[in-house]
């Protein structure tokens, strides 16, 4: 919780015994020669060197001389607060407010005590009083309501401050926390509806209300507000975010595409929202293949995305679904700009294998053995492809070159030996065939132990 002001003492005012900080100076000052000033000066001096006990001792003497002087009690409060004697500090500041209710700094002193002792409930009526002096204290009051779980009052005050001064990130965080509780959403929905009527060109109110309706599964009302936003602000990209979802739910692919193509290039919309839209459209496209060209276009909007490699993720999506044609398509698309992505390269080679596209597999794997001469996986796929193409001699040469790079990967070593057995079977070399198949079997048995 942020706290606003701390009190201070203006030295030029110590000659005015019946006034306090932040008060208007009187035009005529009567200096009383009763020893009070010397005592008061001594108290100030001792406080300045942090000798609070002696400062308090001097102030008690001053109080005996002028028991109705509020500045004595104010200074006592400050010294006790410096000593962390919170009850004594509070009592003296309170005494000042009883003598002079309009003295803001005495109220601030009481607030300081409550703040340091974390007595937020006790602080609330004090800060409510302080808001009469300075409206800035309403920010403190908001935090106090949050700390004491008076969320209805906090929400009302947040809306008041937002209306008057505009939003702040802190207040918006508070508001988001409050609105997680459905009990407060109804009041906020009404507030937002009122604000939409009052400020029809303020996009943020529509967006907040759409979000609230969506969170409470009131999809029809959310759509209604999205349409209102589109009518009020035809250029609003945010309206299209909501309309996109509704078009998908209605199986209206054409309008969903139109909405998506407005949102994805927009600089106003967060990338996370765009990723979510693309994922939803990907699932839609899987069941509606005619929109695949639109999916390809959508991927282009993410070409510079450093956080999520969209084409790769879509390739992996189709790979997991065993849709090998589409897996190959999107993995190849990704690898045009990321040709050293080992995970994507291996997925692509396996997808070629699943498709029995052995010409493409042999060509790609052979290229990769040249680019990455110590990566055994690429030799394996090159050997497998040449075996399938009945290029047995080439397969054996490649596999024997690559097997030396296999380290601590028993599964891959088994596969190498199987493919070598296949190659020498094709070459008619029974001895080597048996050697490699036997080795593969031994490795398989060792894995079962």
Task: Identify whether the C-beta of residue 69 lies closer than 8 Å to the C-beta of residue 100.
Answer: no
Asked if residue 89 belongs to a domain, the reply is: yes
Q: Could you give the CA distance from residue 227 to residue 82 in angstroms, rounded to a whole number?
A: 60
CB atoms within 10 A of CB 357: 17
Q: Are 34 and 65 in contact (CB under 8 A)?
A: yes
| Co-location of 32 and 94 in the same domain | yes
Q: Is the pLDDT of residue 248 over 50?
A: yes
Rounded distance between C-alpha atoms, residue 146 and residue 326, angstroms: 52
- The answer on 392 and 291 residing in a single domain is no
Does 59 fall in a domain? yes
Nearest in space to 142 (alpha carbons), one of 186, 95, 178? 178
CA–CA dist 30, 304 (Å, integer): 76
| Contacts for 286 with CB less than 8 Å, ≥ 6 apart | 321, 323
304 and 360 in a single domain? The answer is no
Cα gap 77→312, rounded to integer Å: 67
Task: List the one residue out of 106, 101, 119 whose CA is nearest residue 77.
Answer: 106
End-of-domain residue from the set 94, 116, 138: 116
Query: Do 46 and 103 reside in the same domain of the chain?
Result: yes
Domain final residue, candidates 116, 148, 164: 116
* In the chain, % of residues over pLDDT 90: 67
Interior CA angle at 78 toward 74 and 84, to 5°? 140
Binned at pLDDT 50, 70 and 90, residue 124 comes out as very high
Residue 1 pLDDT level (bands cut at 50, 70, 90): low
Report the alpha-carbon angle 133-136-130, nearest 5: 35
User: What integer pLDDT is reported at residue 121 of this predicted model?
Assistant: 95
- Residues 31-57, mean pLDDT to the nearest whole number: 85
The full length of the chain comes to: 449
Q: Which of 148, 152, 151, 101 is nearest to 129 (CA)?
A: 101
Is 293 among the domain residues? Answer: yes
Residues 11 and 110 in one domain: yes
Q: Is the dihedral of CA 123, 128, 131, 137 positive or negative?
A: positive
Same domain, 386 and 292: no
Domain boundary among the residues 116, 136, 164 is at 116
Q: What is the DSSP string of 119-175?
A: -HHHHHHHHHHHHHH-TTHHHHHHHHHHHTT-HHHHHHHHHHHHHHH---HHHHHHH
Q: Is the pLDDT of residue 204 over 50?
A: yes
Tens of pLDDT, residues 281-294: 999 998 999 999 99
Confidence of residue 27 (pLDDT cuts 50, 70, 90): very low
pLDDT for the residue 337: 85
The answer to whether residue 208 sits within a structural domain is no
Asked if 304 and 363 sit in the same domain, the reply is no
C-alpha 267/C-alpha 448 separation (Å) is 56
Distance CA 202, CA 267 (A): 18
pLDDT of 217 over the 90 cut: no
Provide the 8-state DSSP code for 32.
P
Give the mean model confidence (pLDDT) for residues 297-325.
Answer: 89
> What confidence tier does 3 reach under pLDDT thresholds 50, 70, 90?
low
Task: Count structural domains, the chain.
Answer: 3
- 8 and 102 both lie in a single domain: yes
Question: What is the per-residue pLDDT across 387-439, written as a single tens digit (0 to 9) for each?
Answer: 999 999 999 999 999 999 999 899 999 999 999 999 999 999 999 999 999 99
Same domain, 275 and 377: no
Residue 268: what pLDDT? 80
pLDDT of residue 7: 36
Taking alpha carbons only, the member of 51, 118, 40, 38 closest to residue 74 is: 40
| Whether pLDDT at 315 is above 60 | yes
Domain membership of residue 215 (yes or no) is: no
Q: How far apart are CA 171 and CA 157, in angstroms?
A: 10
- Has residue 344 been placed in a domain? no
Model confidence at 14, pLDDT cuts 50, 70, 90, reads: very low
Please tell me the pTM assigned to this model. 0.58
The pLDDT, as a whole number, for residue 107 is 97
DSSP state of 10: -
Distance CA 417, CA 394 (A): 15
Confidence check: pLDDT of 140 > 70: yes
> Does position 23 have pLDDT exceeding 80, yes or no?
no
Confidence of residue 70 (pLDDT cuts 50, 70, 90): very high
In this structure, is residue 430 part of a structural domain?
yes
Q: Are residues 304 and 402 in the same domain?
A: no
Which structure tokens are listed for 282? 């990907």
The two tokens of residue 235 are 């250029």
d(CA 449, CA 447): 6
Task: Give the up-direction half-sphere exposure of residue 299: CA atoms within 13 A in the CB hemisphere.
Answer: 20
Q: What range does the domain containing 88 cover? A: 1-116
Helices and strands: H and E segment counts in the chain:
24, 0
* Digit-coded pLDDT (tens) for 327-377: 999 999 999 988 899 999 999 999 999 999 999 999 999 999 999 999 999
Do 276 and 367 have their domain in common? no
Average pLDDT, the chain: 88
> Binning pLDDT at 50, 70 and 90, where does residue 2 land?
very low
Same domain, 6 and 82: yes
Whether the Cβ atoms of residue 365 and residue 394 lie closer than 8 Å to each other: no
pLDDT value at residue 12: 28
Residue 33 C-beta-side C-alpha neighbours within 13 Å: 0
Establish if 207 belongs to a structural domain.
Answer: no
**Angle of the 376-388 helix axis to the 410-427 helix axis, nearest 10:** 30
In whole angstroms, what is the distance from residue 227 CA to residue 222 CA? 9
């Amino acid at each position: 919780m942020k706290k606003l002001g701390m009190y201070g003492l203006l030295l030029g005012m110590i000659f005015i015994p019946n006034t306090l900080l932040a008060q208007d100076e009187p035009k005529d000052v009567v200096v009383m020669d009763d020893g009070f000033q010397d005592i008061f000066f001594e108290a100030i001096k001792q406080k300045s060197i942090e000798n609070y006990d002696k400062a308090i001792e001097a102030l008690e003497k001053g109080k005996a001389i002028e028991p109705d002087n509020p500045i004595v009690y104010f200074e006592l409060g400050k010294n006790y607060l410096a000593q962390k004697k919170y009850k004594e500090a509070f009592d003296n500041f309170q005494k000042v407010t009883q003598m002079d209710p309009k003295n803001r700094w005495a109220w601030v002193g009481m607030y300081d005590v409550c703040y340091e002792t974390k007595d937020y409930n006790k602080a609330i009526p004090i800060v409510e009083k302080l808001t009469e002096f300075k409206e800035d204290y309403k920010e403190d009051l908001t935090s106090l309501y949050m700390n004491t779980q008076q969320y209805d009052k906090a929400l009302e005050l947040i809306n008041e401050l937002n209306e008057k001064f505009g939003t702040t990130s802190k207040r918006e965080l508070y508001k988001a926390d409050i609105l997680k509780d459905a009990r407060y959403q109804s009041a906020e929905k009404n507030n937002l509806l009122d604000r939409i009527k009052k400020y029809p060109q303020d996009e943020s109110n529509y967006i907040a209300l759409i979000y609230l309706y969506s969170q409470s599964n009131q999809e029809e009302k959310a759509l209604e507000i999205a349409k209102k936003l589109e009518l009020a602000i035809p250029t609003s990209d945010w309206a299209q975010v909501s309309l996109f979802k509704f078009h998908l739910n209605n199986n209206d692919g054409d309008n969903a595409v139109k909405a998506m193509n407005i949102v994805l290039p927009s600089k106003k919309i967060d990338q996370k929202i765009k990723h979510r839209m693309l994922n939803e459209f990907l699932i839609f496209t899987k069941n509606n293949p005619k929109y695949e060209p639109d999916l390809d276009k959508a991927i282009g909007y993410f070409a510079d995305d450093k956080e999520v490699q969209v084409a790769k993720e879509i390739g992996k999506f189709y790979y997991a679904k065993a849709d090998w044609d589409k897996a190959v398509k999107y993995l190849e698309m990704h690898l045009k700009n990321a040709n050293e992505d080992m995970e994507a390269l291996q997925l692509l080679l396996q997808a070629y294998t699943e498709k029995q596209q052995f010409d493409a597999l042999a060509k790609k794997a052979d290229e990769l053995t040249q680019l990455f001469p110590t990566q055994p996986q690429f030799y394996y796929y090159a050997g497998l492809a040449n075996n399938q193409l009945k290029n047995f001699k080439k397969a054996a040469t490649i596999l024997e070159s690559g097997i030396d790079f296999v380290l601590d990967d028993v599964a891959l070593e088994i596969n190498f030996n199987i493919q070598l057995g296949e190659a020498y079977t094709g070459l008619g070399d029974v001895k080597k065939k048996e050697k490699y198949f036997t080795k593969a079997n031994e490795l398989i048995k060792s894995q079962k132990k």
